[in-house]
Amino acid sequence: MKKDLAQIVVTEEEIRRRIAELGGQLTELYRKIGAEEVSAICITNGSIMFAADLLRHFELHVRLDCVRVSSYKDEDRPVTEPEIIDQIRLDLTQQHVLLIDDILDTGGTLDKVTRILRAQKPASLHTCVLLNKKRRKQVRVKPDFVGFTIPDHFVVGYGLDFAERYRNLPCIGVLRPELQNPPNWCAARKEDQPSSRR
């Protein structure tokens, strides 16, 4: 899978170290505000790997729920408004809520989900994203915690996908240009196999 990358943007080791730091900072924050328990809400599927690793650094009780949002539909840029496909089931009233996402791009997803969470009147609401893309946001949102700020490239790995592939890549990188938005992803990769090379 790594050979499909044109460039590695964040290594496995950098991810591991930064997540441990973020876990410490978040534990500290919740200690300061007197929270004994946190309700973590992950935006799936992209934040699954990040949330799983981050939450294991928390030294307090965690309730976990997911909200499924989609706007990419197998493309490398949003093709629709973020759409909530599966709702949160936890009651968040008077709870300390942490919203976790993989990447902040246009800001549309985080904006939409924070509005939904705020409507439940949590005791506190913080946001944490692993990656923040350096580009003008279409929606003004400022995450409370950011793992890494990266250039404006379409990236995959560590939860982030292209057409549902590459989520299990342990690092984060940019796909080779010929693999971005091919008319048929599988066909583009087959051409790359040694058996089909002339």
Positions that interact with ligand IMP (CB under 6 A): 43, 46, 71-72, 78, 82, 101-110, 154-156, 160
Which of 35, 117 has the CB closer to ligand IMP? 117
Measured from the CB of residue 82, what is the shortest distance to ligand IMP in angstroms?
A: 5
Q: What is the CA radius of gyration of the chain?
A: 18
Task: Tell me how far apart the terminal alpha carbons of the chain are, to the nearest angstrom.
Answer: 22
Cβ proximity to Mg ion: between 26 and 51 the closer is: 51
Active site residue: 105, 111, 152, 161, which one? 105
**The one among 46, 107, 122, 147 contacting Mg ion by CB under 5 A:** 46
Question: Which of Mg ion, ligand IMP, none does residue 122 bind (CB under 5 to 8 Å by kind)?
Answer: none
- Beta carbons of 74 and 16 less than 8 angstroms apart: no
Tokens 């009780």 belong to residue: 61
Choose among ligand IMP, Mg ion, none what residue 25 binds, the Cβ cut-off being 5 to 8 Å by kind. none
Q: How many CB atoms lie within 10 A of CB 11?
A: 13
Chain-centre distance of CA 9, in angstroms? 15
**Closer of 107 and 147 to ligand IMP (Cβ):** 107
Mark 21-60 as b/e (b = at least 16 C-beta within 10 Å).
ebbeebeebbeeeebeebbbbbbbbbbbbbbebbbeebee
Distances from the Cα of 58 to the Cα of 46, 84, 127, 132, angstroms: 20, 27, 15, 22
Residue 102 binding: pick among ligand IMP, Mg ion, none (C-beta 5-8 Å cut-off by kind): ligand IMP
Measured from the CB of residue 9, what is the shortest distance to Mg ion in angstroms?
Answer: 16
Residue closer to ligand IMP (CB basis): 27 or 176? 176
Shortest Å distance, C-beta 138 to ligand IMP? 7
Residue 53 falls in the annotated catalytic set:
no
Q: Any idea which residues carry the catalytic annotation?
A: 105
